[in-house]
Structure 1
Amino acid sequence: MKKVLVLGGTRFFGKRLVEQLINANYDVTIATRGLTKDDFGEKVKRIVFNRDNPNSMEQLAQQSWDVVYDNICYSPNEAKEIVNVLKGKVGRFVFTSTLAVYEECKNVIEDRFNPYTYPIQYGNREDYTYAEGKKLAEAILFQQADFPVVAVRFPVVIGENDYTERLLFHVKKIWNHQELVIKNLENEMTFITEEEAGEFLNWLSTNDVTGPINACSNDVITFNELIQICEEELGIKANIVDQGEKENQSPYDTYSHTYLSNQLAKDLGFKFSNVKDEIKKLIHSYQKNLVKK
């Protein structure tokens, strides 16, 4: 039975990952700050730890692990600490990274950002942007770890448990006939659902792929297509403008200049879904909650 450690696993796609691992009959331990309750019961073991406390981190090194998933590393200092703590203790390390490591590019493939040669700097999360923190974390993991590493570069993740509520933001604006600011309706995006993100991460526990890998659903969607889907499913015409108050600006504007190629993952055998169908289901779920209110 594989022993698996998940750093962060109580919400969103991390929770979906743990569910997949449990269903695969792995010996699963989740390590969190203990702030978010989970409903896994006796199906998992638990470690309460604090990444800012080296003594607390040492708990992770009391055992050896076949696979470690790190969903909550955002800085080079955090990456350096985990590399030191788990030295000689890990068969395989899966790091949750992001499409944000790439510069603006369409249908971007993995070699557009090379963490093996990226210059290393050290610092805490507050010292860097989200994108730069992830770049530097990747660089440290690939250049300094003594265990095999794979970095999963996700695009925008959507789902009912999305605590960022970015897709819900659009649904609410349209539902309430409010102005929605989108600078360019032709900008394109890729997505992945929380369920598929969990499935993909679990899939990585069954093979020996290493290095960076993109993971996204098959559809590339323009802003215009996304809004059209919302309009069709809600039965309401959106009020779209290209300039307006910041509070009405789409939170997807930041991510709509780059979209991923998932060809490498597909070549390795993973079958992705078509996300447009999933977006429609999600909009209906949001709509039911809005009607109740």
Structure 2
Amino acid sequence: MKRILVIGGSRYFGKALVARAREAGDEVTVLNRGSGAPPRGVDHLVADRDDEEALRAVLGPREFDVVVDQVCYTPLQAAVARRVFAGRTGRYVMTSTMEVYDPATLPAGPVDPVGPGGPVPAVPAPVTEASLDPARLPLPGAAGRAPGPWPAYVYAEGKRQAEAVFLRDAAFPYVSVRAAHVLGGGPAEFTGRLAHYVERIAAGTPVDVHEAPYATSFIHHHEMAEFLHWTAGQAFTGPVNAASHGAPDVLALCEAVAERVGRRPRYRVVGAGAAASPFSFDRAYAMDNGRASALGFGSGHVADWLPGAITETAGAAG
């Protein structure tokens, strides 16, 4: 049994993580701003994580085996957490994102943000964790940002800088889980990105795609919850990619949707640099999940769970 604190944990795979930990017999505490009550048997702490004094007060003398931070978006939030949880936890797991690899959001500057793996490739090759070393990035200062939504480059840079804060002069064993695009069927997929395709293809509305879209990485929301819980119980540190096997491009995704809804997709090609439908990318940054596999996590396959997620989403749409 582990004593786990989940920061966030009120929706999507955060809720699934809390449920998974409880099923495993862990002692779970959820900390958030009161946006959602956890299930029975789970302690609930209410505080604004940006308020260091209030955070310390609500935590009191509590200590944890693991903190799983679902909602760290800025270097300011990371700096507060680093100070508050130093000496309070034996392990810190931050949910990051594959967007940290996106070459369209990487800053230009005198410091090369890549590690020993070299630059993010211009060819469609999956990126490894070594493709980006946030600790080499210049920190912008302690300025935080209000909660999203943010432009993609702000979200990605915020996550990179948050990782950098935890990695520099580490206060505890730290892991950044760089999550692929998380999908789930029906109301579980609150972002509406899968529903975008189901609704458009079912209605015969064109899907906006790039002329030669690149493949990207996905993970089911239950698999993401399982990945985080597994990570909480491991001893490794540093970044790790969380993605199912298989990296379809947007055209393959549309074909999968078409097979379930019984209507052929229609496409509208957009120009280079123009906005397109979710998951249509004109640059490559699908992820390599080899490190997670080598460490012992058994990743699923997109082809195994995507049809069911599409069917659930279509059913929820009516």
1:52 equivalenced with 2:50 (yes/no)? yes
Which residues in structure 2 correspond to 1:257-276 (within 5 Å)?
257-276=284-303
Q: CA deviation at 1:276?
A: 1.8
Question: Which structure's residues are more often helix, by fraction?
Answer: 1
Cα distance between partner residues in 2 of 1:184 and 1:262: 27
Partner of 1:114: 133
- Per-residue CA deviations over 1:155-189 (Å, capped at 9, x if unaligned) read 10001312111111111111111121111354201
Q: Is the 8 A contact 1:149 1:210 kept in 2?
A: yes
Give the structure 2 partner of residue 29 of structure 1: 29
Residue type of the alignment partner of 2:48: N
Give the CA deviation at 1:256: 6.4
CA positional deviation for 1:239: 1.4
Task: Tell me: CA distance 1:237–1:168, structure 2 relative to 1, closer, same or farther (3 Å).
Answer: same
Candidates 162, 166, 170, aligned match of 1:145: 170
* Distance in structure 2 (CA, Å) of the matches to 1:109 and 1:255: 19
Cα pair distance change 1:25/1:159, threshold 3 Å: same
Shift of 1:255: 8.6
Task: Please report how far the alpha carbon of residue 61 of structure 1 lies from its aligned counterpart in structure 2 after TM superposition.
Answer: 5.2
Contact kept, 8 Å, 1:149 with 1:211, in 2: the verdict is yes
Describe the SS at the equivalent of 2:278. Answer: coil
In the alignment, which of 113, 117, 124 is matched to residue 144 of structure 2? 124
Per-residue Cα deviation, 1:97-142 (whole angstroms, up to 9, x for no partner): 1111114443100011113332222221359700110010000001
2: CA distance between counterparts of 1:16 and 1:56? 27
Gaps of at least 5 residues in structure 2 are 104-120
In the aligned structure 1, how far is the partner of 2:63 from the partner of 2:284? 41
Amino acid at match of 1:60: L
Please report how far the alpha carbon of residue 62 of structure 1 lies from its aligned counterpart in structure 2 after TM superposition: 2.7
For the residues of structure 2 that align with 1:36 and 1:185, how far apart are their CA atoms?
A: 42
Partner of residue 65, structure 2: 66
Provide the rounded CA distance (Å) in 2 between the counterparts of 1:273 and 1:36.
Answer: 29
CA contact (8 A) 1:12 1:194 kept: yes
1:107–1:259 CA contact under 8 A, matched in 2: yes
Partner of 2:206: 179
Cα contact 1:75–1:133 (8 A) shared by 2: yes
Q: Structure 1 residues 277 and 3 mapped into 2: Cα distance closer, same or farther (>3 Å)?
A: same
Distance 1:48 1:144 in 2: 29
Q: Structure 1 residues 254 and 130 mapped into 2: Cα distance closer, same or farther (>3 Å)?
A: farther
RMSD between superposed Cα atoms in Å? 2.0
Structure 1 residue 209: deviation in Å? 0.8
The question of whether the paired residues in 1 share the 8 Å contact of 2:249 and 2:280 is answered with: no
Q: Which residue of 1 aligns with 2:305?
A: 278
Matching residue of 1:93: 92
Q: 1:35 to 1:103 in 2, by over 3 A?
A: closer
Paired residues in the alignment total 287
Structure 1: stretches of 5+ with no match in the other structure: none
Asked if 1:212 corresponds to 2:232, the answer is no
Show the counterpart of 1:289.
Answer: 316
CA contact (8 A) 1:5 1:28 kept: yes
Q: Distance in 2 between matches of 1:86 and 1:254?
A: 38
Query: Is the Cα contact below 8 Å between 1:17 and 1:202 reproduced in 2?
Result: yes
Report if aligned partners of 2:22, 2:28 keep a CA contact under 8 Å in 1. Answer: yes
Query: Any conservation in 2 of the 1:157–1:193 contact (CA below 8 Å)?
Result: yes
Are residue 165 (structure 1) and residue 192 (structure 2) matched? yes
Q: Distance in 2 between matches of 1:251 and 1:83?
A: 33
Q: CA deviation at 1:254?
A: 5.3
For 1:221, what is the secondary structure of its paired residue?
Answer: coil
- 1:203-238 Cα deviation digits (max 9, x unpaired): 112210100000100011122211111111111011
The residue number in structure 1 matching 2:74 is: 75
**What letter corresponds to residue 49 of structure 1 in structure 2?**
A
Does the aligned pair in 1 maintain the 2:214–2:281 contact within 8 Å?
A: no
Cα offset for 1:55?
Answer: 2.4
- Report the 3-state secondary structure (helix = DSSP H, G, I; strand = E; otherwise coil) of the residue aligned with 2:135: coil
Cα distance in 1, alignment partners of residues 82 and 298 from structure 2: 31
SS in 1 for 2:270: coil
CA 1:107–1:61 in 2, change beyond 3 Å: closer, same or farther?
A: farther
